[in-house]
C-alpha cells in the first residue's frame, strides 16, 4: 500500500520484465483481438480483456501523475496522496461526513497556526509553541473521532480481495487488486468513488507517521537508499526527476491537506486515468458500471511539464562516507521512451549489464571477482521524460567502489570502440521475446501492462508493436548510440566510501 516502485533495484527487475520487447507480435493476435476499450466523456480510458477460466478479475488504475509533477515545497505529495486514496470517501471510513469535514477544517487551521510559529525556529515562543502543539493534537483527535479506521481496506478484504496495493513513481501512480468476479459492481463503486470523491482524512497522522517513517526506512536508515537519492539529485538539476519520489524530509513536515487537495484536483483528472480490467467479466457490464460510478472524475485538462535541464557540461561526482559497505552507481543521460533510439538504449543496457552473460557480469563478477553484482538498465528513475542509463556495482568484500569503476569504464570504452557482435544482439532480441511472453501471464500483470502502455504511451498496442522496434536495432545502431551517450561530460557518479564508525 505504500510501495514506491521504481527504486533503483526494482527498476532493474522491471526493465527486464516490462520494458524490453522484441521480435514479432504474431502469435499474440488472439490476445490483441480480445482487447476492448472505451472512453468516458470525462476522459478516463477503460481497457477490458475477458478471460473466463476462473471466476476472478484484476484491475489496474494508472494515473499519469507521479513525483515529476511536484514542485519544491510539496515534494512527496504524490506518494502521500496515494496513501490518502485508501482513507475512504464521504460514505466509506466515517461515521458522520459533515461533522468530520468541520473537524478537519479546524484541524487544518490549527496546523496552519502551528506552522507559522514553528517556522520562527530559534525565535519561536516556547510557551506559545507548546500551546499550539497541544491545540493541533486536540484538533486531530477531534477529527479522528469520526473515523472508521481502514474501512476501505476492510471492505476489499472482507469481500475476498487479494493483492491490494498501490505504487507511486516519478512518472505515474498505480492502484490495483483482485476480487472474485461476482464483486465487479462493488469494485466499480469502490474505485469510482475514491477516484472521484476521496476524503483526505487522517492526513496529518498518516503523513507524520507511516509516510515519514517510510522515508526514514528507505533513506536515512538505508545507506544505499541515501546514495541513490543523492545520485538522482545530482544527475538532474531543474528537471522534474531532481527530487526523489519519497520527497524531502522538510517538505513532508510542512505539507498541508490543502496542498494535497490541490494536487488531487489538478492531476487526478479523467484524461490522466487509464483503467484496465482483466478476468472473468463482461465488457458491456464494465462499460455500464464505469458510466455509473466513474462519471464524477474531473474532465479538466491537466498541465504539462516544460522544465528540463540544459545539456551537461562535465562529469558530476559525489561520495557518501558511511560505515556501510561500498556501493557504486554511475549514470548517463539518454532520451525518454519516445526517443528514436529508445530500443537501442534497452539493447545496450541488456548487453552491458543484464544477466549472467552480460559484459559487466562476466568482467567484474566472474573474471575480476571484484564485484558480487553488476547491472545496468535504461530508464532510471523513469522513462516518461529524458532519463538515465544507469550502471550499478556492488563490490566484493574488501574492494572499494573506486576500484570497480576502473573496470566499468574499460568495458564501456570497449563497447564504444569495438561495438557488439551480431550474436550478442540476437540474444537480446530472443530474450526480449521470451520475457514479453512471460509478462502476458496472469490477470494482474496484463492489467498493469495494458494500462501502462495506454496511459503513458497513448496506445496499449505498443506493448505488442514495440517488439518490432527492438527487432530493427542493428549492431551499427548500438555502437553509434554508445559513442554518443558514453562520454564523460554526460556522466554522473556516486559511491559509498566505507569509513570507521565515529565513536
CB atoms within 10 A of CB 323: 11
- Min dist. Cβ of residue 230 to other proteins (A): 17
The residue from 107, 202, 259, 411 that contacts other proteins (CB under 8 A) is 202
Q: State how far the Cα of 311 lies from the Cα of 447, in Å rounded to an integer.
A: 37
Is 161 a binder of other proteins (CB under 8 A)? yes
Is 29 a binder of other proteins (CB under 8 A)? no
Is 24 a binder of other proteins (CB under 8 A)? no
Q: What are 494's strand-pairing partners?
A: 318, 329
Is 288 a binder of other proteins (CB under 8 A)? no
Is 210 a binder of other proteins (CB under 8 A)? yes
Q: State how far the Cα of 56 lies from the Cα of 64, in Å rounded to an integer.
A: 26
- Min dist. Cβ of residue 429 to other proteins (A): 9
Is 123 a binder of other proteins (CB under 8 A)? no
Coil, helix or strand for 338?
coil
Is 216 a binder of other proteins (CB under 8 A)? yes
Is 230 a binder of other proteins (CB under 8 A)? no
Coil, helix or strand for 233?
helix
Is 159 a binder of other proteins (CB under 8 A)? yes
CA distances from 298 to 41, 43, 61, 88 (A): 10, 9, 15, 18
Q: Give the residue with the Cβ less far from other proteins, 372 or 487.
A: 372
Q: State how far the Cα of 386 lies from the Cα of 213, in Å rounded to an integer.
A: 30
Is 445 a binder of other proteins (CB under 8 A)? no
Is 130 a binder of other proteins (CB under 8 A)? no
Retrieve residue 52's grid coordinates.
473466463
Residue span binding other proteins (CB under 8 A) among the ranges 62-70, 115-123, 408-416, 434-442: 434-442
Residue span binding other proteins (CB under 8 A) among the ranges 99-107, 204-212, 449-457, 459-467: 204-212
Examine residue 381 and say whether the peptide bond preceding it is cis (omega within 30 degrees of 0): yes
Is 353 a binder of other proteins (CB under 8 A)? no
Region 92-111 residues binding other proteins, contact defined as CB under 8 A: 92, 95
Is 185 a binder of other proteins (CB under 8 A)? yes
Is 478 a binder of other proteins (CB under 8 A)? no
Q: Give the residue with the Cβ less far from other proteins, 13 or 340.
A: 13
Is 292 a binder of other proteins (CB under 8 A)? no
Is 340 a binder of other proteins (CB under 8 A)? no
Is 120 a binder of other proteins (CB under 8 A)? no
Residue span binding other proteins (CB under 8 A) among the ranges 67-75, 210-218, 226-234, 485-493: 210-218
Burial of 339 from C-beta contacts in 10 A (0-12 / 13-18 / 19+): middle
CA distances from 82 to 8, 43, 169, 193, 472 (A): 20, 21, 11, 15, 39
The residue from 24, 27, 317, 472 that contacts other proteins (CB under 8 A) is 27
Q: Give the residue with the Cβ less far from other proteins, 171 or 206.
A: 206
The residue from 24, 34, 149, 474 that contacts other proteins (CB under 8 A) is 149
Retrieve residue 239's grid coordinates.
528537471
Please answer whether residues 66 and 452 qualify as being in contact, where contact means their C-beta atoms are separated by less than 8 angstroms: no
Strand bridging mode 316-322 / 491-498: parallel
The residue from 109, 220, 315, 417 that contacts other proteins (CB under 8 A) is 220
The residue from 283, 442, 471, 484 that contacts other proteins (CB under 8 A) is 442
DSSP 27: T
The residue from 237, 324, 400, 469 that contacts other proteins (CB under 8 A) is 324
Exposure letters 347-370 (e unless 16+ CB within 10 A, then b): bbbbbbbbeeebbbbebbbeebeb
Is 119 a binder of other proteins (CB under 8 A)? no
Region 32-91 residues binding other proteins, contact defined as CB under 8 A: 54-56, 91
Is 160 a binder of other proteins (CB under 8 A)? yes
Task: Evaluate the CA torsion angle 28, 32, 33, 34 in order and state its sign.
Answer: positive
CB atoms within 10 A of CB 439: 18
Which stretches of 222-294 are assigned E, i.e. beta strand?
273-279
- Min dist. Cβ of residue 245 to other proteins (A): 17
Please answer whether residues 462 and 47 qualify as being in contact, where contact means their C-beta atoms are separated by less than 8 angstroms: no
Q: Give the residue with the Cβ less far from other proteins, 50 or 280.
A: 280
- Min dist. Cβ of residue 71 to other proteins (A): 26
Amino acid at each position: 500500500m505504500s510501495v514506491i516502485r521504481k527504486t533503483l533495484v526494482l527498476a532493474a527487475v522491471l526493465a527486464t520484465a516490462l520494458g524490453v520487447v522484441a521480435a514479432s507480435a504474431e502469435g499474440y493476435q488472439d490476445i490483441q483481438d480480445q482487447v476492448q476499450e472505451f472512453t468516458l466523456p470525462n476522459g478516463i480510458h477503460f481497457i477490458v480483456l475477458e478471460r473466463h477460466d476462473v471466476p476472478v478479475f484484476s484491475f489496474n488504475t494508472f494515473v499519469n501523475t507521479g513525483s515529476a509533477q511536484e514542485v519544491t515545497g510539496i515534494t512527496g505529495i504524490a506518494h502521500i496522496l496515494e496513501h490518502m486514496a485508501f482513507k475512504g470517501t464521504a460514505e466509506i471510513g466515517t461515521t458522520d461526513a459533515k461533522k468530520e469535514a468541520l473537524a478537519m477544517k479546524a484541524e487544518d487551521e490549527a496546523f496552519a497556526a502551528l506552522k507559522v510559529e514553528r517556522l520562527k525556529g530559534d525565535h519561536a515562543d516556547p510557551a506559545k509553541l507548546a500551546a499550539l502543539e497541544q491545540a493541533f493534537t486536540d484538533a486531530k483527535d477531534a477529527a479522528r473521532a469520526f473515523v472508521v479506521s481502514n474501512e476501505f481496506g476492510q471492505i476489499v478484504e472482507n469481500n475476498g480481495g487479494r493483492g491490494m496495493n498501490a505504487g507511486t513513481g516519478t512518472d505515474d501512480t498505480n492502484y490495483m487488486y483482485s476480487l472474485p468476479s461476482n464483486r465487479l459492481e462493488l469494485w466499480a463503486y469502490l474505485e469510482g468513488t475514491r477516484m472521484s470523491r476521496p476524503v483526505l482524512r487522517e492526513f496529518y497522522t498518516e503523513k507524520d507517521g507511516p509516510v515519514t517513517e517510510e522515508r526514514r526506512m528507505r533513506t536515512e536508515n538505508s545507506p544505499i537508499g541515501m546514495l541513490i537519492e543523492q545520485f538522482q539529485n545530482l544527475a538532474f538539476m531543474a528537471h522534474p526527476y531532481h527530487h526523489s519520489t519519497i520527497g524531502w524530509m522538510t517538505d513532508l513536515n510542512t505539507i498541508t491537506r490543502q496542498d494535497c487537495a490541490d494536487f488531487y484536483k489538478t492531476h487526478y483528472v479523467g484524461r490522466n486515468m487509464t483503467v484496465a480490467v482483466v478476468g472473468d467479466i463482461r465488457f458491456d457490464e464494465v462499460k455500464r458500471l464505469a458510466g455509473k460510478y466513474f462519471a464524477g472524475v474531473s474532465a479538466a485538462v491537466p498541465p504539462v511539464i516544460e522544465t528540463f535541464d540544459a545539456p551537461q557540461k562535465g562529469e558530476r561526482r559525489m561520495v557518501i562516507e558511511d560505515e556501510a559497505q561500498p556501493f557504486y552507481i554511475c549514470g548517463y543521460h539518454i532520451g525518454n521512451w519516445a526517443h528514436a533510439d529508445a530500443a537501442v538504449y534497452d539493447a545496450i543496457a541488456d548487453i552491458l549489464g543484464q544477466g549472467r552473460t552480460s559484459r559487466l557480469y562476466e568482467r567484474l563478477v566472474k573474471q575480476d571477482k571484484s564485484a558480487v553484482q553488476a547491472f545496468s538498465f535504461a530508464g532510471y528513475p523513469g522513462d516518461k521524460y529524458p532519463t538515465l542509463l544507469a550502471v550499478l556495482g556492488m563490490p566484493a568484500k574488501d574492494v572499494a567502489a573506486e576500484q570497480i569503476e576502473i573496470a566499468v569504464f574499460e568495458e564501456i570504452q570497449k563497447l564504444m570502440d569495438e561495438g557488439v557482435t551480431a550474436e550478442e544482439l540476437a540474444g537480446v532480441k530472443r530474450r526480449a521475446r521470451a520475457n514479453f511472453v512471460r509478462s502476458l501471464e496472469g490477470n494482474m500483470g496484463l492489467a498493469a501492462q495494458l494500462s501502462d502502455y495506454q496511459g503513458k504511451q497513448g496506445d496499449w498496442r505498443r506493448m505488442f508493436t514495440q517488439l518490432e522496434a527492438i527487432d530493427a536495432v542493428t549492431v551499427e545502431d548500438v555502437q553509434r548510440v554508445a559513442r554518443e551517450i558514453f562520454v564523460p561530460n554526460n556522466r554522473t557518479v556516486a559511491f559509498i566510501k566505507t569509513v570507521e564508525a565515529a565513536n
